[in-house]
Amino acid sequence: MMKTLFIDKEIKYEGWQLSPHWIYKNFKIQGDSTVAFIGECNVKLTEMVDIEDVINNEPIYSRSMLSFISEQFNTGLVEGVFRQRLLICIIKEALEKRGITVSRSGDDLFVNGKKLTVSIATKSLTSILIHTGINIDSAGAPVKASGLSSDLGINDIKEFAEEILTKYSEELEDIVLASTKVRGV
């Protein structure tokens, strides 16, 4: 079962947090887990996991971002990317429920052609790791960006984050449960 936590203190996401057992070491949550927090995001090229972004010299910056970090064990990288895309789709649905038109291209969400999210899935020796960030404030981003508060009118970020955490955990649990109710053929 996926354990979740919204962290009430501000955390600056710099990329190095996407590492094995970061959640366990810092928040004492062992096993499959996803945490969310708010803070500045400034990922320099030296901390980038996405090699394409490094090649294209595209560091990540947001003055204020809602970040999700997930660590999941006994999972391969391809399944990890599926789980990353599931998280992105859950975020998209939560925005659409609020009347916001959102488009998705792979693991990126856009509103009015402006980038709303960043996301990456990678594999450590023991787990898969996912970071997904949603701009809260789009000012100062290195690309045309959209933000939850600055552009979309979503101001209760904690409530929004907790909704995503709950839906993601429930969906993963339901997938496993669905696999137990069928007869093999």
* pLDDT over threshold 90, residue 20: yes
Residue type, 91: I
* pLDDT over threshold 90, residue 56: no
Strands 33-43 and 3-6: parallel
In whole angstroms, what is the distance from residue 118 CA to residue 132 CA?
6
Side-chain half-sphere exposure of 15, counting CA atoms within 13 A: 16
SS3 (DSSP) at 169 = helix
Residue tagged 């560091």 (tokens) = 59
Residue type, 32: D
Contact 11, 45 (CB under 8 A): no
Contact 119, 105 (CB under 8 A): no
Q: How confident is the model at residue 57 (pLDDT cuts 50, 70, 90)?
A: confident
Q: What is the mean pLDDT of the chain?
A: 96
DSSP-H helix ranges across the chain: 22-27, 51-55, 77-97, 157-178
pTM of the model: 0.96
Taking the CA atoms of residue 46, residue 51, residue 55 and residue 59 in that order, the dihedral angle to the nearest 10 degrees is -50
Q: How confident is the model at residue 54 (pLDDT cuts 50, 70, 90)?
A: confident
| Model confidence pLDDT, tens digit, residues 151-168 | 999 999 999 999 999 999
Name all domains of the chain by residue range, CATH numbers in brackets.
3-176 (3.30.930.10)
Q: Residue 133 corresponds to which tokens in the numbers above?
A: 């960030």
Quick one: which H or E segment has residue 78?
Answer: helix 77-97
Largest interatomic CA distance in the chain:
55
Contact 18, 34 (CB under 8 A): no
